Structure 1
Amino acid sequence: MRLTRTRGRGPTTALVMRLLALLAASAAWALAAAPLAAAEVPRVESWGDNSFAELGDGTTFERHTPVTVAGLTAAGTTSLAAGDGHGLAVLSNGTVKAWGANDFGQLGDGTATASITPDHLTPGTVRELSGVTAVAAGCSFSLALLSNGTVKAWGNNFSGQLGNGSTGAPSNTPVTVGNPGNPSAPLTGVVAIAAGCDHSLALLSNGTVRAWGDNSTGQLGNGSTGGTSSTPVTVVSPANPGSPLTGVQAIDGGLSHSVALLSNGTVRAWGDNSKGQLGNGSVGGASPTPVTVVNLTGVRDVDAGYDHTIALVSTLLSNGTVRAWGDNGKGQLGNGSIGGTSPTPATVVALTGVRDISAGGNHNLATLSSGTLRAWGGNNFGQLGNGSTINSGTPVTVRTGVAAITLIAAGGRSSLAG
């Protein structure tokens, strides 16, 4: 914190002393008032790679410490999502802002261009979209959950990840995700959404999961491997592939794998396992049906990176700790080492009191109960936000300058917080 002070001058020592006393009182008041002033206009910040203007600060300059996303405030933002080159924000009025890469129309403004245009350097409004409660960002497509339990999608559709019954042609405006039995009718009863690189997930109110898009490694979880699905399919039970996986509370998608948190605090994962990201004790191959992540209970939230997975554990003994498994090539497991893989959950060191987590491509974010932010893993673009570009196998403090972080989103090579 920087305080600007004026230097008092006077003909007598008494006057000088009085001025010094006034300055001291003024400085003390400023120190006390500054946090309140900052809290009046909480900002949304971004850092890391900015090649596609995914930081939304009006430039394409890489940032190693947070900068402000233009035109957004944390008070007016209810949800954030970061893709592989674009960002999304839900505003308190239920509309969505998007910025960054738009080569497949993933910004939803009716255009699609491979070049970065001036109007994509900062957030613009997604067309024909209202009543949004949450967003998710894939590698080059976007999802939005509406308050009526339906889902909209836009951007790349090469693998059918828009879920509207078509494959191939992208859409630069939102389309409706269809019902499995009748693609012309909407999928309904959705309470949460998630995006992998080229596949999508939806959690229904009955605790079952639907998935659509790329299935090259079984990431749709319907018991098959290969091909794509342009409409939602049901994620099946590992014990009975003829029945759906049930009791799901949270979902997320990685590069080519998916993960689900069950109501009993355990975790299931399916899809690619080339780096041990399914957490079942093995490395290699893939599983088209959910497998159990071993040695893991009391989980409150899960998130998937490219080839790693993280879980927030909160019990009387753990007090908000984080477990991670899969690829550790850039320290994304946070266990103090860099390199190799772990097919079983490892504890992220020196991290307790965690309230929220987010996994990016090769890095992670964690909000503490104090409102501060920690990050670990890949940092070649400054996505850890600590002023360096050195990978870290242990959590470091993000230099946000924001008193209390409430929203976080880790993207492919960038980060968002507000």
Structure 2
Amino acid sequence: MGKRRNEDAQISKAEYARREAKPTQGGGAFPRADAATLAQRRLVSPFSSRDSRPLAREAYSTRIASLNKSFSTFAETALTSSPKEAIVDAARDYVRYAEQLEARFLPKRTEVLSFGSGDCGQLAHSSTLEDENDTVVAKPRVVKALTNKVVAQLSCGGLHNVAVTLDGVCFTWGCNDEGSLGREGDESLLYMPGAVSLPEKVTCVAAGGSQTFAVTLSGKVYGWGCYKDKEGKQWFDAPGTLAPKRKQTTPLLIPSLKNITNVATGAAFNAALTANGDCLTWGLGEVGQLGRSVRDVKVNDEYDLDSLRNDHLTPRKVDFGEKVKVLGCGAYHLLAATELGLLSCGLNNYGQLGDGSTTDRTRPVLVKGLEDRAIAELCGGEHHTLCLLGDGTVKAWGRADYGQLGAGRSEAEKAGSLRETPGDVPGLKDVKSIACGDHHNLALDAEGSVKAWGYGDMNALGLGRARDEFAPKLLEFGVPCTITQVAGGGQHSMVVAAVAD
């Protein structure tokens, strides 16, 4: 069975150029409306859904009520101080957030499809992995084990996946070498989706390099797995008397995280967003990805356990200057959209921070050229970044040599090619969601169609051919379907399709 590769996050561009040409197998907003149109809009009712399932209705109701309160408070303040532009922006954001909540908590019957490399069970097509047809899947294939589950949200990690169903049950599958699944058993059971035992119903999940997190209906966060440092050592959250040097094989409550609405994960770090717009980070911050001051993990070549426990592994607030509206992570960099614009920090060896340099940043810096743009979604790969704007277009920057930026072959002619500031991804319009794998991307448009581009040797693009694509290409699903979610992992991908009753 394949194991996760260890890779130095700070490796130089020169070293990448000396490596093989391919990586090894391993690990929205709305258009502006005029004042008359806005005046006719009504707030979404917490009880307007047709879905009658209690948990989904309760989760949706709680979050829509909070959204309504926040919007009403802001509107009163903005209208008294005049800025018409601000209220228009807020209304556009409100509608986008309301749609996202409905899509997350009130989906129709679903099917999950997976494709790419599945030699560690991450595709969930076989409990034995004896047939190569189940471990190398070139086109999207239905995950039969999830056919009777209504999947509300799905997240891909390096070699594992996590999903939450409409009734609040968390499922995991794939590689469990680092405890990433939060459950134990024979490999044949781990290769297929299995429920994780949690004390509360779950509304949101996230899978990182080797770590997994679940957010509950009450805003608590449970985590399991581990963070692997540059030497391959395993670490995890250590509240109380727990030792930080370990892997966590069962769900652990992270007591300092409360009132959380979303968690984003990188290769070995995490970011959580609270209901009031604060961002907290934790994990391993060896290259500035935590966005705050931390001591080195080593002193005189020995691990500093006090630094690891208190600076790195304990969630702490990041000062972005304003409340965070949209949060995202790359493998080794953090992304956050605020009223000030889009900010980033962390590893920058391929320009993935978008600030016009290749200098690592330990504190958030502004991404160039997006100061006045409405941002709907953020995500990053190992060395590149995608940003979905409110008008349905996509910007990309960072490493380009496998086609990650989708701008054509000319921008990816040699190893180490990069772009230090955001540029357009041609061929995309009316995009409603984006996803990054390590070196590939997926974009979902308003019609439910999906386009993929980037590194394709392991079939993670789902196009039926094992080759890189330097511009977005349309996926074919064989039968008519409407895709509602996209997710990218190390070298595999998954999508969720809405199915009519």
**Please, what TM-score do these two structures have when normalized by structure 2?**
0.68
Structure 1 stretches of 4+ with a deviation exceeding 4 A read 157-161
Superposed displacement of residue 225, structure 1: 6.4
What residue identity is the alignment partner of 1:326?
G
2:219 corresponds to which of 144, 149, 153? 149
Q: CA–CA distance in 2 between the matches of 1:251 and 1:330?
A: 25
- In the other structure, the counterpart of 1:86 is 160
Superposed displacement of residue 409, structure 1: 0.8
Q: CA–CA distance in 1 between the matches of 2:117 and 2:408?
A: 24
Structure 1 residues 163 and 236, CA gap change in structure 2 (3 angstroms): farther
The answer as to 2:176 corresponding to 1:98 is no
- In the other structure, the counterpart of 2:404 is 332
Superposed displacement of residue 346, structure 1: 1.1
Q: CA–CA distance in 2 between the matches of 1:269 and 1:199?
A: 14
- In the other structure, the counterpart of 1:367 is 444
Q: In the alignment, is the contact (CA less than 8 A) between 2:118 and 2:492 conserved in 1? A: yes
Q: For residues 385-400 of structure 1, what are the structure 2 equivalents within 5 Å?
A: 385-400=462-477
* 1:119-139 deviations in Å (ceiling 9; x for gaps): 122101112253111111111
The answer as to 2:252 corresponding to 1:175 is yes
* 1:202-242 deviations in Å (ceiling 9; x for gaps): 011221111111111011111346434121022123xxxxx
Superposed displacement of residue 300, structure 1: 1.3
Q: Secondary structure at the match of 2:464?
A: coil
What residue identity is the alignment partner of 1:280?
D
Q: CA–CA distance in 2 between the matches of 1:218 and 1:138?
A: 17
The answer as to 2:150 corresponding to 1:76 is yes
* 1:80-128 deviations in Å (ceiling 9; x for gaps): 00000001110111011111000021111145xxxx8111221011122
The answer as to 2:262 corresponding to 1:192 is yes
Q: For residues 312-327 of structure 1, what are the structure 2 equivalents within 5 Å?
A: 312-315=388-391, 320-327=392-399
User: In terms of mean alpha carbon deviation, does 160-169 or 385-394 score higher?
Assistant: 160-169
- In the other structure, the counterpart of 1:217 is 287
- In the other structure, the counterpart of 2:313 is 230
What residue identity is the alignment partner of 2:484?
T
Q: In the alignment, is the contact (CA less than 8 A) between 2:210 and 2:228 conserved in 1? A: no
- In the other structure, the counterpart of 1:62 is 136
What residue identity is the alignment partner of 1:323?
K
User: In terms of mean alpha carbon deviation, does 269-278 or 54-63 score higher?
Assistant: 54-63
Instruction: Report which of the two structures shows the higher radius of gyration computed on alpha carbons.
Output: 1
- In the other structure, the counterpart of 1:27 is none
* 1:156-206 deviations in Å (ceiling 9; x for gaps): 145655464642111111001131xxxxxxx10211101100011101122
- In the other structure, the counterpart of 2:488 is 410
* 1:295-325 deviations in Å (ceiling 9; x for gaps): 112221111111111001123xxxx110001
Structure 1 residues 274 and 172, CA gap change in structure 2 (3 angstroms): same
- In the other structure, the counterpart of 1:356 is 433
Structure 1 residues 349 and 234, CA gap change in structure 2 (3 angstroms): same
The answer as to 2:354 corresponding to 1:279 is yes
Q: In the alignment, is the contact (CA less than 8 A) between 1:149 and 1:191 conserved in 2? A: yes
2:114 corresponds to which of 42, 46, 49? 46
Structure 1 residues 46 and 75, CA gap change in structure 2 (3 angstroms): same
Structure 1 residues 46 and 196, CA gap change in structure 2 (3 angstroms): same
Q: In the alignment, is the contact (CA less than 8 A) between 1:157 and 1:167 conserved in 2? A: no
Q: CA–CA distance in 2 between the matches of 1:256 and 1:74?
A: 36
Superposed displacement of residue 368, structure 1: 0.7
Structure 2's unaligned 5+ residue stretches are 1-106, 230-234, 298-307, 497-501
Superposed displacement of residue 75, structure 1: 6.6
Q: In the alignment, is the contact (CA less than 8 A) between 2:277 and 2:325 conserved in 1? A: yes
Q: Secondary structure at the match of 1:94?
A: coil
Structure 1 residues 161 and 287, CA gap change in structure 2 (3 angstroms): farther
Superposed displacement of residue 271, structure 1: 0.5
Structure 1's unaligned 5+ residue stretches are 1-38, 180-186, 238-244
* 1:65-84 deviations in Å (ceiling 9; x for gaps): 01122321497000000000
* 1:308-347 deviations in Å (ceiling 9; x for gaps): 11001123xxxx1100011112111111132510010111
Q: CA–CA distance in 1 between the matches of 2:138 and 2:351?
A: 30
What residue identity is the alignment partner of 1:156?
C
Q: CA–CA distance in 1 between the matches of 2:108 and 2:268?
A: 39
Q: Which has the higher strand share?
A: 1
Structure 1 residues 334 and 210, CA gap change in structure 2 (3 angstroms): same
2:197 corresponds to which of 127, 151, 161? 127
Q: CA–CA distance in 2 between the matches of 1:157 and 1:223?
A: 19
Q: CA–CA distance in 1 between the matches of 2:157 and 2:171?
A: 14
**Please, what TM-score do these two structures have when normalized by structure 1?**
0.81
Structure 1 residues 164 and 75, CA gap change in structure 2 (3 angstroms): same
Superposed displacement of residue 390, structure 1: 1.0
- In the other structure, the counterpart of 1:377 is 454
Q: In the alignment, is the contact (CA less than 8 A) between 1:135 and 1:144 conserved in 2? A: yes
The answer as to 2:322 corresponding to 1:246 is yes
Q: Secondary structure at the match of 1:356?
A: strand
- In the other structure, the counterpart of 1:345 is 422
Q: CA–CA distance in 1 between the matches of 2:443 and 2:493?
A: 11
Q: In the alignment, is the contact (CA less than 8 A) between 1:78 and 1:89 conserved in 2? A: yes
What residue identity is the alignment partner of 1:385?
G
- In the other structure, the counterpart of 1:24 is none
Q: Secondary structure at the match of 1:407?
A: strand
- In the other structure, the counterpart of 2:378 is 302
- In the other structure, the counterpart of 1:34 is none
Structure 1 residues 163 and 135, CA gap change in structure 2 (3 angstroms): farther
Q: In the alignment, is the contact (CA less than 8 A) between 1:367 and 1:405 conserved in 2? A: yes
Identity of aligned residues (%): 31
Name the Cα RMSD after superposition.
2.0
Structure 1 residues 157 and 349, CA gap change in structure 2 (3 angstroms): closer
What residue identity is the alignment partner of 2:402?
K
Q: Secondary structure at the match of 1:279?
A: coil
Q: CA–CA distance in 2 between the matches of 1:73 and 1:349?
A: 35
Q: In the alignment, is the contact (CA less than 8 A) between 1:46 and 1:415 conserved in 2? A: yes
